[in-house]
Amino acid sequence: MPTDNSFATIDQAAWEDLVARFDGRMWAVARAFGLSAADAADAVQGAWLRLVENAGAIRDPERIGAWLVTTTRHEAARLSRKARGEVVSDLDVPDTTLPDPTAAVVDADFGRQVWRRLDLLGEPCRSLIRLYVLHPEARYAQIAVRLDLPVGSIGPTRARCMARLRALVEEENR
């Protein structure tokens, strides 16, 4: 990693180190938008391409991880809207000086903490979130059958359960 705040001078080894450190997080974020594997791969690759084309504008190499995760989220959101048939611009990118500081939570250690909080939730939240997390390709209809819930209730219940889990985690980290 360069130390002169000149990210443009990064070499191949430093680049590969960046990939090793962040590609798992970027992939997880892209998939969290419900993208297929092919679309998620495009979103992740798009974020790396944005890094190449913005290399001269990166002034704080220490924040590259947050920038990569933020940019992946941006590309994933755009591809998700496109997949739903919305007309979206492919030319707007996030401000390179403003990576999302909350991106730091995309981390396996933090994820394990969240799993412990999940155990504090009652049913059906615990089982629903577990299924949703561990089976990214599962459809609501499949989850409904597994949990014996009306399929129409899966989306709203999932949103409510995730909101409760998020509140628990934020309370713990306050």
Partner 1 sequence: MREEYLLAALRMGAGADPVPEGVSAAARAVFGLRVPGGVPAGPVDLPVPPGTRSSAEAGTAQTETAQAGAVQTGVRRFSADGLVIDIETAVTGGRMEVAGQVSPLPGPDARIEVRTPHIAKVRVPSGSGHFAVAGLPPGWVSVVCHRPGHPPVFTRWIHVRP
Enumerate binding residues for partner 1 (CB under 8 A): 12, 15-16, 19-20, 23-29, 31-33, 37, 40-42, 44-46, 48-56, 69, 73, 76, 79, 82, 87-91, 93, 100, 102-103, 105-115, 118, 129, 132-134, 136, 162-163, 165-166, 169-170
* Residue among 133 and 147 whose Cβ is closer to partner 1: 133
HEC per residue, 5-26 = CCHHHCCHHHHHHHHHHHHHHH
Q: Give the CA dihedral 28, 30, 32, 36, nearest 10 degrees.
A: -110
Least distance between partner 1 and beta carbon 8 (Å): 9
Least distance between partner 1 and beta carbon 60 (Å): 19
Least distance between partner 1 and beta carbon 105 (Å): 5
Letter for the amino acid at 69? V
* Residue among 133 and 149 whose Cβ is closer to partner 1: 133
Least distance between partner 1 and beta carbon 130 (Å): 9
* Residue among 34 and 152 whose Cβ is closer to partner 1: 34
* Residue among 103 and 154 whose Cβ is closer to partner 1: 103
Asked if residue 59 lies in contact with residue 68, where contact means CB atoms within 8 angstroms, the answer is no
48 alpha carbon, distance to own chain's centre = 15
140 alpha carbon, distance to own chain's centre = 20
Please report which residue ranges of the chain form alpha helices under DSSP H. Answer: 12-32, 37-53, 64-83, 108-118, 125-134, 140-147, 151-172
